[in-house]
Structure 1
């Protein structure tokens, strides 16, 4: 790493913020391996089983194909300032992520730092994790007491790597910071051409780890919101605690931004049949 480690002056924390580390393993089991933390950035509106499944796929990949050891994983919901259609308030998105993480894997946590402030670039979010884990907490130790810094890595779907390969979407400085300093795990999605996307990112190829989906899953938050707007069940697409939370608070019944964008299609034309919007293969 050529650039200096992030410091406290580089960040502004939301009011009453504290970094979650209750599930972060502080002991490296295998001293021959490099400790890493996986960070999944996204809207999570709402969080789905595929979001959680991506962490498990990455865990399998790391265990079988790398010299890394995962010591923790984080969901980092984006800020409300992201202004994406269908983006529920950070309050609800963070709550749903917390419910999903707490009932799933014992190593997943939710960090609200990004969610409860102005929009932050992904490069800055990763710097924040680096600072909190390595500078504030002091990294991890081997069983013999030797200190080790934790390597922060981004976890994302193939749609992200596709945007990274498009000229002008990401600054070169941010790409070099994310892919050069930190690196990423990319979970391939059905119908994506990841190999073509990574060709233009060849200089960082060694830091880009591609993970194949052995069982294809194309569940998305967008499709879940569509189901909810049409009064259809989303059970078994999301964790039960998240479904219960959505029902309890009456979420996604009216999405003003989406409804305005779709008003012409929805009210002047017949909605698309569901089989054209959401398809799956039955095994």
Structure 2
């Protein structure tokens, strides 16, 4: 398949990111690597969407801190960015709503054909105030040598910045568009939910997810699952009629090696911080650790 005939994918990860860990970034990298190996997809971008403060999870620090930590964690990435739309809403948003928001935004600014989308959305697009500081998405170092897919992501990011919600400003980040003129409407684009096997397993808990939301998430969008702790994803999927129904829309990242990042979690990171455990450097990037210490986060937190 040529690049133009492959499906271009944006990976979207929702969660607390309390705090964001090396494991979260590893999940993006492994998913992109695997999707490229299939020969059917080109991953052009990744989006991290931290949950709203009203989610109510014990020990959840302010979105202001979580957004900053996420920005610091991806500052060296040329394809993953942080989106605060979820945090800036009046209240908590469902995963389904977040996916629909980004789908509507992508359709509006790119004209791309978003495949496998059957359900219309009423999610509003938030307008950006005039004279607002230019949105910050990523570090542009070495972008001149990025492949066409990354340049496409640059074009999309630039367009999104003109109409989507205001993003936190971090002075050392700048954004530059290096994508040459092209007809974006000729590209097939999909937004896939990126998650660990723990989220997949939560789909099987009665009453936790609305069936209608699961139909949209798995049926209309599709998900990419990175297994954790040797989880049996096949068994998990067989426990849910909806997961079985849309099995073809679920991509499980297969990796023969047991990478240590697969067991890293925010919970372990918080515990390490509370106990002064030096292993925290294995869980969190140094800029994130520095920010946590400077802001005195999690040190006396519970959960």
Q: TM-score range by the shorter chain?
A: 0.7 to 0.9
Q: Determine the C-alpha separation between the residues in 2 that align with 1:208 and 1:73.
A: 18
Residue 166 of structure 1 is aligned with which of 202, 205, 214?
Answer: 205
Give 1:183's match in structure 2, choosing from 187, 204, 222: 222
Aligned match of 2:143: none
Q: Which residue of 2 aligns with 1:124?
A: 97
Q: Which runs of 5+ in 2 are unaligned?
A: 113-151, 156-179
Asked if 1:226 is matched to 2:264, the reply is: no
Counterparts of 2:71 and 2:224, CA distance in 1:
22
C-alpha RMSD of the superposition: 1.9
Structure 1 residues 51 and 146, CA gap change in structure 2 (3 angstroms): closer
**CA deviation map 1:68-109 (0-9, x unaligned):** 111110100001111111211100000000111112x21000
Contact persistence 2:111–2:184 (CA under 8 A): no
Alignment of 1:48-87 (within 5 A): 48-87=21-60
2: CA distance between counterparts of 1:124 and 1:145? 28
Q: Deviations over 1:105-160 (max 9, x none)?
A: 21000000112221001011001111112213434699863613521110000001
- Tell me how far apart the structure 1 counterparts of residues 38 and 247 of structure 2 sit (CA, whole Å): 16
Structure 1 residue matching 2:58: 3-state secondary structure? coil
* Closer/same/farther in 2, CA of residues 146 and 106 from structure 1, 3 Å limit: closer
Task: Supply the distance in 2 between the matched residues of 1:218 and 1:236 (Cα, whole angstroms).
Answer: 11
How many residue pairs end up in the alignment?
228
**Contact (CA 8 Å) 1:138, 1:149: kept in 2 or not?**
no
Give me the whole-angstrom Cα distance separating, in 1, the residues matched to 2:190 and 2:230: 31
1:145 matched to 2:183? The reply is yes
For residue 111 of structure 1, what is the aligned residue in structure 2?
83
Verify the 8 A CA contact 1:134 1:150 in the aligned structure 2. Answer: no
3-state SS of paired residue (1:236) = helix
Q: Which has the higher contact order (CA 8 A, sep 6+)?
A: 2
Structure-2-length-normalised TM-score:
0.71
